Structure formats: C-alpha cells, structure tokens
Structure 1
Amino acid sequence: MIMSNNKNSMRTYLIYIAAFCMAFVMIIPLLWMIISAFKAPGSTVTVITELMRPPYTLDSFKEVLEPDGTAMMWRWTFNSVVVGVVQTVVTVLFSSWAAYAVSRIDFKGKTIIFALILAGLMVPMESIVVPLFEMIVELNWTNTYHALIWPGMMLPLAFLILKQFIDQLPSELLEAARIDGAGHFQIWWKIVFPLSRSSMAAVSIFIFIQSWNNLLWPLLVAQETSMMTLPVGIPTFQSNFATDLAVPMASNVIASIPALIVFLLFQKHIIKGISMTGIK
C-alpha cells in the first residue's frame, strides 16, 4: 500500500514537473516579446544582457499607434474585430440551428446532409482557395468585408460540437415542450439555447481565435492597406523594420491583447464547454 502511494506521488510529481517545463518553454517567447516591446526603437533585443538592461519606454508603442505612421493599427484592429465578431455570431447561430435540426427533426435527406457536413472536416482550406477566390472576383467583392467574412462563416466542427451536446438533452424535456404547443424555434430558443450556452461559448472562442489568427484568406482578398486585418497588416508593417525589432514587437503585443482579453473573460465557459462536449 505504501509502495503504491509512493508510486502515485512520484507519478504526480513527474506530471507537474513536465507541465511546468512545457509552460516555461511556451512562455519564454511571450516574455521576450513583451520585454522587447518596452525597449526604445533601435535597441538591441537579441542579446539577453541588453534586453534586460534599462531603460524601458513606451516609445515603440507610440510609433506603432501614431495616426500618421506606416502602421494602421487602429484600422487593422477594427477590421479584425468586425470580421471575428460577425463570423463568430453567425457561425454559432447557424451551427446551433443546423445541429438542432439534424439531431431532433426527422426529414428526408438528413443522413446525406450530415455526411456532407462531416466531409467538410476532411477538406483543407487550401484546396478550395482558388475556386473561392474566383467567386469573390466574379462578385466584385475583393477588398470588402463581404470577402473577409462570408467564406469563413461555416465551420463543421462547431456543428459537430453543438450536435453532440443537443443529442445528450433528455427527449422527454423537448417532447413536453412540443406537447405544450411549442414549435421548433420556440424549443430551440427557450430550451436548447439556454442549456447550450456553455458549449456555444466554447465554440465561440474557438471560432473567434481562428478568425483572429487567419492569414491566408485575408492576404488574398484584402490587397488594400485599409482593408487588411492584423495578421496581414503586421507583417507588412514589420517589413519596414528589418533591423529594429522593438517596434514590431510592440505591434505584436497590441495585436495579442484583444484575443487574450476574450480568452480571460470566457475561460470558465471554455473549460466547462470542453468538459460538456467531450473534446479531448
């Protein structure tokens, strides 16, 4: 018994040590980015002794955020927020409605629709970029919010997560509402939607972060500087600072803040949603 407890304790300690080592390795680049951002423009940030040596200043942030500078950080941030919020809201709503329909409504072709949605998981984005781009050009949507938002609004993974949750709801609960005269939309609005908020919050975070970090598609359809999102605009801005790393690091810190705030505000919902949906 004592030997078993010792083995369990040793295993627990090893797991903690491995977790701390992984966290340390992952946080080093973040710390380097943050410290570098507070160095004066032109400072050496690739040598640890120079990096840790004062003074620290906000000059790099001022250069990034100044309205007449080469970086349109405010505009790029606005574009990223608009695209991320609209894609998140619309995708979650449509995915929830589709998940409820496939899970709880019997209709012809349901199996085929479900199979087509599953097939969407196996199709990489890169394989449909060319036809999507040709459609955008034909519609004359290049350098518009339509091109940035619409192609990224359908996410099969969001549908699967929400369907898995709706499948677990007691049939008696939905049947009782149906007997009381509630239609499908009323059942979704008054029963499914309130009960699936945690799962929807988790899905929303995944969609928002994916939209926030998306580079390939905005790079293709947003050639004008004013329509760029942060993942596209920041590399364009950083190309002007081949030797000066402090200013680009300041832009990276600013770009990371909104996504970090969203994660911190909704981390409880993320954890709860993951545990409820069974994501591993």
Structure 2
Amino acid sequence: MTALRMLLLTLGAILMVIPFLWMVSTAFKTPPELNIYPPSFIPQQFNFDNFVAVFETAPFHLYFFNSLRMAVFSALAIVFTSVIAGYIFAKFRYYGLAFIFSLLLATAIVPFEIYMIPLYLQMQSLDLLNKFSGLVLPYLVMSFGIFFMRQNVIQQIPDEILESARVDGASEWRIFFQLVVPLLVAPMSALGIFAFIEAWNAFVWPLLVVGDKSLFTMELGLAMFQSSFSIDMTVMSAGSVISVIPILIVFIFLRRHIIQSISMTGSK
C-alpha cells in the first residue's frame, strides 16, 4: 500500500513539473523549432536571444520592480494584519467579535468578479487609479490569512502562558511581540509565501486600475507579447521564466518553515 501511494504521489509530481519544464524548454527554442513535429523536449540549439528580446520589447526591468514592490509590500502587510487580527479573534472575548469573524470569513468565499466593479468605483472616488497605492490596497488584508492564523496556530497557544505574562505586568503589545510572534515564525513564513504569490500573479486588478505603462506589473507585461493574430511563444516563455524566478527563490529559502507550518497544523 505504501509503495502504491508513493507511486501515485510521484506520478502526480511529474505531471505538475512537466508543464514548467516545457515552459523552460520553449524559452530556449527558436520560433521555427516550435513547428517541428514531433516536438522536441530538449532544444536542438539553445537560443538566449529570447531573454534579450524580453527587455528589448518593453521595459521589463521596470515591470519586474513593480511586481516585486507590490508582492513584498502585500506579503508584509498581510502577515502583519493576519497575525494581529488572528490573535484578537482567538484570545479576546468581546460582544460581537464572533459575528465580525464570521462576516470576515464569509468574504473569502465571494469571487473577486462579484465585487470587482464596486472596488474599482471606490478606487475612482478616492482618486487612486493609476497609482501604486490603488494597485496594492486590495492586497493588504487576506481573510484566509486571518482564518489560518486564528484557527490553526494561535488557538494552540495555551491561555495560561498569556495569563501568567499579564500577571507579571506585561502589556498586551509586549505579550504579542515577545511571546506570541516568536511562536509563529513558521506559519508566518508560509502565509507570507502565499501572499507573495497571490500579489505577484495578480492580473485582472492591475489591468483594471493601471493604465500608465510605468506601473505595469510582470503579468501585464507578458500580455504585451500577445497580439490579435499571433503569440510569440518563445519570448513569452522567456519572460515567464524570469517571472517565476522570485517565487522559486522565496520558496527555496522558506521551504523549511512551510513544511514545519504544515506539520504544526496537523498536530494538537
């Protein structure tokens, strides 16, 4: 049974990795090589001109910086707000707090397409269109992050530890930063990666609120390779490879915390 489970997991991992490897392979191919049948997985001749063409077609260094700035700012804000809100919802008892948490949790199941237009009208009324603040504002709070920190992590911290700190005269902010936060390094890292990926892959919202090309993100920049009649797959694949690099770097450096967070979630 164990061998069968390992075989199924291995096959699933291979199926998930193949599209990524095919994208990397396409990034090094020439346009004529894409029309060869049967298609070749390994490029016959590695073509590095596609990566040069990415930056010659558009200022992708600026798009890369915009995406990185948005993703980092969003990840830090979501981790901060999720930990504070999760701590309040888990360890404080006030009238109506449970209702507020339920209302907040209900927003997680509402598709973005439902409130996309009202959110756009709000940004318009606040004069935040074509501004970085309007681009990143909807990505400062994540309802799933609050639920994740409250349900799976903070509630596992014994109340006796917090009460003993209060008896010793510690303030709530000192308890939070010196006692609670150090216990949440692993889940905070996992949540930070989720938030980073969500902001980095954002496409519809930047497409709505950003018209100035100087504020374009990587996802909007990659869409420039698609015209009404054709798609330059080789250059687009090269740009996609560049776009994936920051996510891989973040995952490589924080993967230990992700695994630790998952194991903590399944334990009492």
TM range (shorter): over 0.9
Residues 38-97 of structure 1, C-alpha deviation per residue, up to 9 Å, x if partnerless? 224x332253555635321311111112xxx22221111111111111111111111111
Is 1:147 aligned with 2:134?
yes
**Counterpart amino acid of residue 45 in structure 1:** L
Look up the match of 2:168: 180
Look up the match of 1:7: none
In structure 2, the residue corresponding to 1:142 is in which secondary structure?
coil
Look up the match of 1:44: 33
Is 1:58 aligned with 2:45?
no
> How much is the aligned-residue C-alpha RMSD, in angstroms?
1.9
TM-score normalised to structure 1 length: 0.88
Q: Kindly indicate whether the alpha-carbon contact (under 8 Å) linking 1:161 and 1:277 is maintained by their aligned counterparts in 2.
A: no
Task: Tell me how many residue pairs correspond in the alignment.
Answer: 265
Look up the match of 1:227: 215
Displacement of 1:194: 0.2
Look up the match of 1:25: 15
Residues 91-130 of structure 1, C-alpha deviation per residue, up to 9 Å, x if partnerless? 1111111111121122232122112112222222111101
Is 1:125 aligned with 2:112?
yes
Alignment counterpart, residue 86 of structure 1, candidates 70, 73, 91: 73
Look up the match of 1:275: 263
Look up the match of 1:210: 198
**Counterpart amino acid of residue 137 in structure 2:** W
Q: CA 1:152–1:242 in structure 2 vs 1: closer, same or farther (change >3 Å)?
A: same
Look up the match of 1:199: 187
Q: CA 1:117–1:53 in structure 2 vs 1: closer, same or farther (change >3 Å)?
A: closer
**Counterpart amino acid of residue 93 in structure 1:** F
Displacement of 1:243: 5.4
Q: CA 1:91–1:215 in structure 2 vs 1: closer, same or farther (change >3 Å)?
A: same
The worse-fitting range, judged by mean Cα deviation, of 97-106 and 233-242 is: 233-242
Q: Kindly indicate whether the alpha-carbon contact (under 8 Å) linking 1:241 and 1:248 is maintained by their aligned counterparts in 2.
A: no
Q: Kindly indicate whether the alpha-carbon contact (under 8 Å) linking 1:71 and 1:237 is maintained by their aligned counterparts in 2.
A: no
TM-score normalised to structure 2 length: 0.92
Residues 209-230 of structure 1, C-alpha deviation per residue, up to 9 Å, x if partnerless? 1111121111111122221111
Q: Kindly indicate whether the alpha-carbon contact (under 8 Å) linking 2:226 and 2:232 is maintained by their aligned counterparts in 1.
A: no
Residues 2-55 of structure 1, C-alpha deviation per residue, up to 9 Å, x if partnerless? xxxxxxxxx222222222222222222212211121224x33225355563532
**Alpha-carbon separation, structure 2, partners of 1:43 and 1:21:** 32
Displacement of 1:250: 0.7
**Alpha-carbon separation, structure 1, partners of 2:74 and 2:232:** 35
**Alpha-carbon separation, structure 1, partners of 2:132 and 2:263:** 35
The structure with the larger Rg is 1
Q: Kindly indicate whether the alpha-carbon contact (under 8 Å) linking 2:130 and 2:212 is maintained by their aligned counterparts in 1.
A: yes
Look up the match of 2:251: 263
In structure 2, runs of 5+ residues without a counterpart are none
In structure 1, runs of 5+ residues without a counterpart are 1-10
**Alpha-carbon separation, structure 2, partners of 1:237 and 1:244:** 6
The percentage of counterpart residues that share the same residue type is: 36
